[in-house]
Amino acid sequence: QKEVEQDPGPLSVPEGAIVSLNCTYSNSAFQYFMWYRQYSRKGPELLMYTYSSGNKEDGRFTAQVDKSSKYISLFIRDSQPSDSATYLCAMRRGSYIPTFGRGTSLIVHP
């Protein structure tokens, strides 16, 4: 079993939909949880960074962490075609190197 599992998709939604992207993990020591967005042939861009359980909101994006279930989510409200990208989850414990999921490809069609 991989430490971090993420469905590669693709996930295709119409413009304006609420998107839910998810990752599960097996290492209960993970404390920090990140979401990155990666456009085709570009570097990953840090979107959200959370510590421990709970929710964090930034504009149309909400990151949610449920440590009891070892499950994290990224919600995108009012999705736009420009949100079409690959979304990578990442997590780490303390100062250790983060472990990345393989990414979910999202397509938002007009």
Partner 1 sequence: NAGVMQNPRHLVRRRGQEARLRCSPMKGHSHVYWYRQLPEEGLKFMVYLQKENIIDESGMPKERFSAEFPKEGPSILRIQQVVRGDSAAYFCASSPGGRSYEQYFGPGTRLTVT
Report the residue number, 3 or 78, with the smaller CB distance to partner 1. 3
Smallest distance, partner 1 to C-beta of residue 54, A: 18
Q: Given its phi and psi angles, is residue 9 left (phi above 0), alpha (psi -120 to 50 degrees) or beta?
A: left
**Sign of the CA dihedral 110, 82, 72, 2?**
positive
Contact 104, 5 (CB under 8 A): no
**Spatial CA neighbour of 20 closest among 70, 69, 79:** 79
* Among 16, 42, 52, 78, contact with partner 1 (rule: CB under 8 A): 42
Smallest distance, partner 1 to C-beta of residue 101, A: 6
* Among 30, 64, 100, 106, contact with partner 1 (rule: CB under 8 A): 100
Q: Which residues bind partner 1 (CB under 8 A)?
A: 4, 6, 8, 32, 34, 36, 41-46, 49, 88, 90, 92, 95, 97-103
